[in-house]
Amino acid sequence: MAEQDKPDNSDENTLDRIKTGAFERNVALTRMGVGAGAKIAGHTVRNFFRSGESRDEANRNFYRSQARELADELGRLKGSVMKAGQMLSLYGQYFLPEEAVEVLASLQDNTPAVAWSFVEPQLIDALGERTIAKLDIQRKPIAAASLGQAHLATIKATGEQVVVKIQYPGVASAIDTDIRTLSRLISATRLAPKALDLTDVFNELRDMLVRECDYVQERRFTETFHERLSGNPRFIVPKVYPEFCAQRVLTTRYEPGYSVASKEVQALSQARRNALANAFAELFVTEFFDWKLVQTDPHFGNYRVRIDPEGENDQIVTLDFGATRNFQNSFVESYGKIVRGSLQGNRKEVAQGVLEIGLMSGDTPRDFLEGFADLTELIVEPFRKPFDPLVPERLYTPGGAYRFGDTDLPARVGQTAALKMMSRHFRIPPQEIIFLHRRIGGVLVTLKTLRAELRLHSLLKPHLGLS
């Protein structure tokens, strides 16, 4: 068993239960909203007596404090409202204070587990006692997240080790109430601009949560990826066991491995890390351009590395397909125009793709479109040809591979975006962009963690008609 896959056998961080009733969840969040209102009033009065620089610093501290309090409460409640908080951080970069986005983004899925006595009734209700009796289930989970937790089990008849993923009781039925409450709370804490209508954002959050709570759909996506990657020796997708699956329960083969950031993976040779990194990148490109079906959650826990003791064929284990999304042909083609135009310096093609996707409208000023093109030409840096003059020379190896371990690209992108993208003409991107970029960002973080040295231009050539 890999180091990071060992269950935590302590009870220190185990919750007896989570608040699942609409009333008790509303009480918890409403109490926080009232407290936030009082703090806002006090902060406003104190700001009246502060100088400009002091006021700015006080505002930053205030936003950070409000967001931390919100994040702490969401973490205690778990369920859909916590997952919504995580997702909100993705949208929030376009309208929330930087301090608030940073705090909400910290709402990761390594949350305390819930006691077996709380989740067992959900399992019995979903599968029935006769079916459950075929399994020997460990009561301590091997992983706990916002929507559910996973338990290691053995099929008694065959000895196969499986993972039983159980959704927390009441999570799916609380989505509507949680989204409404979170919307009111964001307003009460003054984290979002008062005049900004976030109705569409919260509607999209609701739709995404409904999909992630549907384990029948996740089962289908898991089976699809298992089938499509079954002939590729570089990847492992867990087998699904339909007999032990239901709307709120998903059972798959246990596939251990090491985290990308583990010391075991980090100790691999440059060539082996490059091979893993190239596989990560190639999988994403295949998902988007060929399958138009993308697993959009890049959380490190969703990927494991199976190290080959012979040192020849390390493999990537891919897990958790709840955030998988289909993309329309038209979207992929339009997005391809942005990428191709950015790589070739064709700003007319970039603008065409941007308008087709809906990031901007037809009356967007030319200087703003130019600023956006500056940004996209920077973002595609790792995919340029070797020794491209637009890429800092220090980021190339003598052989022309891009040094992901040394890149400061995220900082440069952030600076460029802050300078060029603050405009009423820029719209909050549609969810397709938000979640596609979440996966792209995850791929780049993985390549940096692996300290990869790669030439990725060739990966895009067949999909974009590049020379």
Q: What is the pLDDT of residues 82-109, one digit of tens each?
A: 777 777 766 666 566 676 666 666 665 4
Residue 56, CA atoms < 13 Å, CB-side half-sphere: 3
pLDDT value for 275: 96
Average pLDDT over residues 438-448: 85
Q: pLDDT for 369-420, tens place per residue?
A: 788 888 888 889 999 999 999 999 999 999 999 999 998 887 787 677 666 5
Phi, psi of 83 (to 5 degrees): -60, -40
Tell whether the torsion through CA atoms of 373, 294, 165 and 83 is positive or negative. Answer: positive
* Euclidean distance between CA atoms 200 and 240, whole angstroms: 35
Does this model's pTM top 0.85? My answer is no
Tell whether the model's pLDDT for residue 284 goes beyond 80. yes
β-strands 303-306, 293-295: how paired?
Answer: unpaired
Concatenate the DSSP letters of all residues of 390-451 into one string: TS-GGGB-TTS-EEGGG--HHHHHHHHHHHH--STTPPPPPHHHHHHHHHHHHHHHHHHHTT
Q: Look up residue 418 and give its two tokens.
A: 């802050």
* Section 304-327 average pLDDT: 92
Segment among 273-287, 291-305, 383-397 with least mean pLDDT? 291-305
Give me the mean pLDDT over the 227-247 stretch.
96
pLDDT at site 359: 77
pLDDT for 285 equals: 94
Percent of the chain with pLDDT over 70: 72
Expressed in angstroms, the distance from the first to the final Cα of the chain is 46
In the prediction, which pLDDT does 49 show?
A: 36
Residue 452 banded pLDDT, cuts 50, 70, 90: very high
pLDDT at 376: 87
Mean pLDDT score across all residues of the chain: 80
pLDDT for position 207: 84
Whether 140 shows a pLDDT value over 50: the answer reads yes
Counting residues of the chain whose pLDDT is more than 90, the rounded percentage is 45
pLDDT value for 162? 98
pLDDT of residue 206: 85
6 — pLDDT class (breaks 50, 70, 90): very low
Q: Which stretch of 20-34, 76-90, 116-130 has the lowest confidence by average pLDDT?
A: 20-34
Q: Is the pLDDT at 136 greater than 90, yes or no?
A: yes
Q: Give me the pLDDT at residue 62, please.
A: 63
How much is the pLDDT for 306? 96
| Residues 6+ away with beta carbon under 8 Å from 70 | 32, 85, 103, 104, 185, 189, 191
Candidate from 31-35, 239-243, 276-280 with smallest mean pLDDT? 31-35
Statement: residue 135 has pLDDT above 80: yes
Domains of the chain: 22-108+175-200 (no CATH), 115-167+214-256 (3.30.200), 257-467 (no CATH)
What pLDDT sits at residue 3? 38
DSSP string, 237-281: -PPB-GGG-BTTEEEEE----B-TTSHHHHTS-HHHHHHHHHHHH
Q: Note whether 355 and 336 are within 8 A (CB).
A: no
Rounded Cα gap, residues 78 and 100, in angstroms:
19
How high is the pLDDT of residue 301? 75
